[in-house]
Every structure is written in structure tokens, then in C-alpha cells.
Amino acid sequence: MSRAHFWRNFARVSFLCLVASFVLAPMLATALGGFKSNAELRMNAFALPESWNTAFYASIITDPGFWRYLGNSMLISVATVILTLLVGAAAAYVFAQIKFFGSKMLFSYLLLGLMFPFATAILPLFIKVRDIGLLDTYWAVILPQTAFGLSLAILLFRTFFEQLPKELFEAAYLDGCSYVRFFWRFTLPLSTPILATVGVFVFVQSWNNFLLPLVVLNSRDAFTWPLGLMQFRGEFVTEWNRTLAFVTLTILPAIAFFFAAQKYIVAGLTGGAVKG
């Protein structure tokens, strides 16, 4: 029995290792590739480089464009998170606390965004952003991104707000606290777990977003890092090592961020994510 158990576990772990290598090998080959010469790249994608050539990594790190792209992405992502949390929580609070005529209808209206892909509206969105004069600005990414993220945020926030103890509100209310004040002073501070979950989720979505920035940002100065990466690849098409160094330098922080915030990421994604 215990021998059978051992072999079953052995088979299980072997299979898991096999899948893990399928997952990790491409990333490993990428990180190593950034240290290799073209000749070495041709020989064996997995072999360690004969001499660790840091020139490619260094050339990316010292490139102001690289930092510009990262900075743009950071700014856009942080702004999207703040805006989504504030605007989404405010609306969700009204739906959770106040019953009024038409509230159900408005709530369903705001949830419509869960039903269809972002891409269905991308062309008119481009026209709209252009006509308002936002093309090539951070707002061209922040505002539509926020708007599309609102549905999920409001859904998650409302569920959470409804679970906050009603007695708290009644006590504050008797003391003359208004709804708006209560939202600021109590609901938001008490909701840090869900704010963190949604915030991390929105951040990752924004940080990785490609289609919207691709459509509404034209000049390099405004590029987010995925656009910068594509542009870079186009320019250095024969030099894989540079591109691999660039990719590695952008995925390492992403992986580090994931391990730091995994609790919230997993909660946010399994709580209702949009891609698959």
C-alpha cells in the first residue's frame, strides 16, 4: 500500500515538474538570451552563456526611452486605480446603502460592461478620444480603462459594502452623520481588503493593456511599455538578445509584484475576471 502510494506520488510530482518546465522554460530561455551573443543564441537556447555578456541589459537600462515607457505605464496605471476605486466605490456605496426609485435599473446598466469585449467599441472610442482632443494624452487611456473597469469594481464593492454591519451606520446616523460623510469616514477605511483586491487587479490589467494604448497613443513620448517593447522589437529585428533583455527587464518586476501581491491578485481574478 505505502509502496503504491510512493509511486503514485512520484508520478504525480513528475507530471507536475513536466508542466512546470513547459511553463518556465520559455521564460528561462528569454532571461538567459539577454546575456548571449547572436552566435551563442543560435547554438542552444537553454545552455548557460559562455561569458555573461551584460552589455544588452546595460544598454536597455541606460536607455532613457525605456524608463520613459515604464514611467508612462506607472502613471497611467496608478491614475486608473485611484479613479476606479473612488468612482466605483462611490457608486457601489449608493447602491448598497440607499434604496431609491430606479436604483436597480441603474445598477444593471452599470453592469452591462461585463457582457462584451472591450474591442467591440474600440473604433468609436478612438474617434471620440480624438474629437475630444485627448489623443496622445494619458487621459486617453485612463478614462476609457476606468470606465470599462467600473462594472466589475462596482459589483465587487457593492457585495462587500452590504456585508458591513448595519448597526454601525445606524449609530453614526443617529449622531448626525450624513451618507456622504459616512462613506468617507467609515465605508472606505473599513473596506481596505476589497479596495486592495480590486486595486491590484485593475493595476495589472492597466499595466498589461495593449489594444487601447496602441489605438490612442501615437507619439513615442506617450508610449506605455508594451508599445515601447513592440517598437523596440521592430527596430532591432535582427538582434534577439536586446529584445530578450528588454522583455526580461519588464517581466521580472511583474513576477516580483505578483509574488508580493498574489493574495489579492488571486482573490481578484477568481472573484470574476474577464479574460480566459
Partner 1 sequence: MSLSEIPALAPVAGPKSRPLRKKGSGGRLTAILLLLPPALILFSLFVILPLTESGYYAFFDWNGYGQPENFVGLRNFEQVVGHGVFHTALGNTAKIVIASLLIQMPLALFLALLIYRKTPTNSLFRLIFFVPYILAEVAAGLIWSFVFDGNYGVTASLAQSMGIENFFILADRDWAFVAVLTVVIWKYFGFHMMIYIAALQGVPEDMIEAAQIEGANKVQIVRYVQIPQIKPAIIVSAFFAIIGSLQVFDVIIPLTNGGPSNQTHTIVTYLYTFGLTRMKIGFGSAIGVLLFIAAVGVAIFYQRIFMKGAKA
Q: Is 179 in the site for partner 1 (CB under 8 A)?
A: yes
Q: According to CB under 8 A, which residues from 144 to 163 bind partner 1?
A: 144, 146-148, 150-151, 154
SS3 content of the chain, % helix, strand, coil (to 5): 80, 0, 20
Max CA separation in the chain (angstroms): 77
Shortest Å distance, C-beta 18 to partner 1: 11
Shortest Å distance, C-beta 58 to partner 1: 20
Binding mask 66-85 for partner 1 (x = CB under 8 A): --------------------
Q: According to CB under 8 A, which residues from 229 to 268 bind partner 1?
A: 229-230, 233, 240, 243-244, 247, 250-251, 254-255, 257-259, 262, 265-266
Shortest Å distance, C-beta 179 to partner 1: 4
HSE value, Cβ hemisphere, 13 Å, CA-based, for 46: 5
Shortest Å distance, C-beta 46 to partner 1: 7
The span from the CA of 29 to the CA of 23, in Å, is 11
Shortest Å distance, C-beta 52 to partner 1: 18
The span from the CA of 128 to the CA of 150, in Å, is 19
For partner 1, the closer CB: 63 or 122: 122
Q: Is 135 in the site for partner 1 (CB under 8 A)?
A: no
Q: What is the CA radius of gyration of the chain?
A: 24
Q: According to CB under 8 A, which residues from 15 to 44 bind partner 1?
A: 15-16, 19-20, 22-27, 29-30, 33, 38, 41-44
CB 89 within 8 A of CB 191: yes
What are the φ/ψ torsions at residue 129 (nearest 5 degrees)?
-60, -40
DSSP structural state of residue 36? S
Q: How far is CA 13 from CA 10, 22, 34, in A?
A: 5, 14, 31
Shortest Å distance, C-beta 50 to partner 1: 15
Shortest Å distance, C-beta 202 to partner 1: 13
Selection from 209, 190, 195 nearest residue 261 by Cα:
195
For partner 1, the closer CB: 52 or 109: 109
For partner 1, the closer CB: 64 or 165: 165
Which among 52-60, 62-70, 74-82, 166-174 is the span making contact with partner 1, rule CB under 8 A?
A: 166-174
What are the φ/ψ torsions at residue 39 (nearest 5 degrees)?
-60, -45
Q: According to CB under 8 A, which residues from 197 to 216 bind partner 1?
A: 204, 207-208, 210-211, 214-215
Per-residue cell: 64: 532613457
CB 156 within 8 A of CB 271: yes
Residues with Cβ within 8 Å of residue 49, at least 6 apart in sequence: 32, 35, 36, 37, 40
Which among 48-56, 57-65, 74-82, 123-131 is the span making contact with partner 1, rule CB under 8 A?
A: 123-131
